[in-house]
Structure 1
Amino acid sequence: MKSYTKIKPLFFFLIALIGSSALAQDITVHDPVMIKQKDTYYLYCTGEGISVFSSKDLKIWKNEPAIFKEKPVWVDTVVPDFKNHIWAPDISFHNNVYYLYYSVSAFAKNTSAIGVTTNTTLDPKDPAYKWVDQGIVIQSIPNRDLWNAIDPNLTFDENNTPWLSFGSFWEGLKMVKLNPDLKSIAQPQEWHTIAKRKRTFELADADPGDGALEAPFIFKKNGYYYQFLSWDLCCRGKDSTYKVVVGRSKTITGPYVDKEGKLLTEGGGTLLIQGDQDWFGAGHNSTYTFDGKDYIIYHAYSAKQNGRPILQIKQLQWDSDLWPKL
C-alpha cells in the first residue's frame, strides 16, 4: 500500500537524482510506466511532480522536466497539505491525446484520489507540449470505501470500452468502466473486484490490514487479458518482500485465474518475479509491446547500491500454455 510502502524516508526524495543520463540499471525509479512516441521512449514514475526520463534505446536515459511544477490545484481538497510527491502514474495514447493518470494519498489511509492530465505530445521541445490537468477521476474516503484509489491502469476491451483498474490493500483491486472522455466514471456505474487476498483479522474500515496486494496492470495478448499485480511489501530495503504475480481471463472484467486455476479474487496468483540476494522488493510492474517484442518493467532495490530502487527492463516470453515467463 502506498501509504505504507511509498513514503519511507530513505526513498522519499531519491527519484531522478542521478544526473542527466545513465544506463538503465542505474536509473532510480519507483513504479515505472513507459510509452513510445516516434523514436523515443518516455518513462514516468513516482516522484516530485511525477519524474520523467527519455531514451532512444532503452539503455541510455535522460532526465526530462517533471509533469507538475506545482501540485494540481484540487489536491488539497482531497489530501490537505499534500506535498508535490505524486505516486504511481499510468500513460496511454488514445484518439491522438496522451492521458497520464496519477495518484495522491494521505499516509496510511485510503484518503486517496486518481487524477488525469492530458497532452498532445510527450516531447518537451515541441511547441505544442503542455500538460492540462483534468482533475479527479476516482476518489476513495475512509469509512465509506473498502478500497483505495491509487495505482491506476487504463485498458480498453474488445469493444474499445475504457476500463480503469486500480487499488491497494483493503478489500482488493478494482475495475470501473469509464466514459469515452476517459476523465470520468460511466453511468450507470459498473464496478468489479479483479483480485483480493484475505485479511486475516477484523479491522476498522480505515485500516488497510494485511493480505498485501496492489498495482494491477492489464495486458492484452494471446486472446487473453493478463492481470499483473504486486504482492507483499515494498520499500523496506533488504526486508522488502514485493513480488509480481499474474492471472488471466478471456474477458477484461474477469474472473481472472492463475496457472493452477485459482481465482485471483480468492488469493490466486502465479509467481513471475521476486527478489533474490542481489535485488530486494521486485515489483510494481507495467507491460508493453514495442516493435514486436514484449517487455515487462518494474523496480527492484539493489543490495549493491545501498538499497536504491533501480529500473528493471526484461523481455517477456511465453510458454507453450501461453503464460508469461522471463
Structure 2
Amino acid sequence: MTALVAAVLLALLPNAAQAAESYPDPRPLTGQQIIHDPTVLRLKSGQYVAYSTGGVIGARLSKDLKHWDDAGNAFAEPPSWWYEYNDTGDPWAPDISYRAGRYWLYYAVSSWGTNHSAIGVATSPSGLPGTWTDHGKVFTSETTDTWNAIDPAITRADGRLWMSFGSYWTGIRMVELNPHTGKARANTPVHHLATRPDAPYAVEGPYIVKHGRHFYLFASYDACCSGVNSTYKIKVGRSTTITGPYVDSTGKPMLEGGGDLLLEGHGRYVGTGGQSVFQDRGRDILAYHYYDAEDEGTPKLGLNQLNWTKTGWPVVT
C-alpha cells in the first residue's frame, strides 16, 4: 500500500480507528532539529520560521520545511520585566501569528512549579529573529488564582481575538484580547475549556484551530521535560463556539477529562507534545516536540500533516 493510499484510507476512518494503527513517524528533517514547544509559520518572504522554548526564544529557519538552520533568538536580551517572574529571564512556549500587517509573538514567563506567571507579546514587521519589539504583559496570574498564565495560543473568531492558555492548576483557560493592543480586555471573563478529574490536572499547552463549523482544541496531557521518561501525549476535542464546551468524539466534555488521543509516543519518538498547528499551502500541519530515545532523550522537532475524517475529526498522517 502506498503512503498516499494509506493516508487517504486513514482519513476516511473514524477517529478512534487510529488507536488500532501505529502512529506515523514525524517527517524526516535535517539540520538543527533540537527544539521544545515549537510554533511554526510560513512568512510572507516564503521562509518558514520556528520559535521555541530555549534561549531568549530560540529561532530556526527553513526554506522547505525539511532542512532547518539555527537562527539565534527572537530577542538579543530579555526585557527587564521578565525578571519579575524568574531569575534567569527565561521565556517559554511562544506562539507566532500574523494579523493587521504585523507578526505577533506571544510567550510566557514563569518558574517551575508556580502560577506566579505572565504572558507577554512582541511585534515584528518581518517575523524574523532580532526584529521583535516587546510590548510587555498581556495577562498575568498569581498564586491566589486557580489558573496559570503560560502556554498562550491566539485564535480569531467572528471578528474577535482570543487567547487560550494554561498549565496544570485547573487546566486550560481562555480570555478575549483587544485586537488593537493585543492584550487582555479589561475585566475580561476567564473561560474554562478543559481539565481532568485527577490532581495535579496535567493538561497544558492549548492550541485552537477552526475547521468547518467547529473549533478544535488540541492540548498536551501528562508529563513533559523528562527526556525518555516523559509521558506527554496530544488530545483533541471540538466545539461549535470558541469558548466551548469542547467534547471528544464520544461526547464526553473536556471539562470532565474527555479528549480523543491524537498522538502519543511510539518507538524512538517519546513524549510527543508542546504542539501547535499551522497552514502550509492549504494543508494543516501539526508541529510538536518529541524526545529522541536514540539520542539520549534530546527534544526534537516533529512535523506531520493533519487530515480530517468524514465526521470532521483530525488524524495524523
TM-score tier (shorter) = 0.7 to 0.9
1:305 alignment partner, SS class: coil
1:145 to 1:188, Cα distance in 2 relative to 1, 3 A: closer
4+ residue stretches of structure 1 with deviation over 4 A? none
Deviation at 1:23, TM superposition (A): 3.2
2:305 partner letter: Q
Task: Say whether the 8 Å CA contact 2:237–2:247 is kept in structure 1.
Answer: yes
Task: Say whether the 8 Å CA contact 2:32–2:69 is kept in structure 1.
Answer: no
**1:74 match:** 81
Deviation at 1:25, TM superposition (A): 8.1
The reply to whether residue 135 of structure 1 matches residue 148 of structure 2 is no
The reply to whether residue 33 of structure 1 matches residue 39 of structure 2 is yes
1:261 to 1:70, Cα distance in 2 relative to 1, 3 A: same
Structure 1 gaps, min length 5? 1-21, 201-209
2:156 partner letter: F
Q: Can you list the C-alpha shifts for 1:212-267, whole angstroms capped at 9, x where unaligned?
A: 00000001112211000000001212221100000001110011000110101111
Q: How many residues align?
A: 288
2:242 to 246, 252, 257: 252
Q: Distance in 2 between matches of 1:130 and 1:26?
A: 21
The reply to whether residue 23 of structure 1 matches residue 22 of structure 2 is no
Task: Say whether the 8 Å CA contact 1:297–1:314 is kept in structure 2.
Answer: yes
TM-score by length of 1: 0.85
Deviation at 1:117, TM superposition (A): 0.7
**1:16 match:** none
1:120 to 99, 105, 125: 125
Task: Say whether the 8 Å CA contact 2:82–2:90 is kept in structure 1.
Answer: no
Q: Distance in 2 between matches of 1:133 and 1:269?
A: 35
TM-score by length of 2: 0.87
Q: Distance in 1 between matches of 2:187 and 2:306?
A: 37
1:198 to 1:119, Cα distance in 2 relative to 1, 3 A: same
1:154 to 1:285, Cα distance in 2 relative to 1, 3 A: same
Deviation at 1:294, TM superposition (A): 1.3
The reply to whether residue 313 of structure 1 matches residue 312 of structure 2 is no
Deviation at 1:24, TM superposition (A): 4.5
Task: Say whether the 8 Å CA contact 2:89–2:109 is kept in structure 1.
Answer: no
1:276 to 1:310, Cα distance in 2 relative to 1, 3 A: same
1:24 to 1:114, Cα distance in 2 relative to 1, 3 A: farther
Deviation at 1:40, TM superposition (A): 0.7
Q: Distance in 1 between matches of 2:107 and 2:225?
A: 19
1:53 to 39, 52, 60: 60
Deviation at 1:131, TM superposition (A): 1.3
Q: Distance in 2 between matches of 1:84 and 1:187?
A: 27
Greater RCO structure (CA 8 Å; 6+ sep): 2
Structural mapping, 1:216-295, within 5 Å:
216-295=206-285
2:294 alignment partner, SS class: helix
Deviation at 1:182, TM superposition (A): 4.2
1:241 alignment partner, SS class: coil
Identity of aligned residues (%): 43
Deviation at 1:73, TM superposition (A): 1.4
1:189 partner letter: T
Deviation at 1:188, TM superposition (A): 4.1
Structure 2 gaps, min length 5? 1-27
Q: Can you list the C-alpha shifts for 1:39-76, whole angstroms capped at 9, x where unaligned?
A: 11111100110001111110011121311221111122
Task: Say whether the 8 Å CA contact 2:165–2:205 is kept in structure 1.
Answer: yes
1:252 alignment partner, SS class: coil
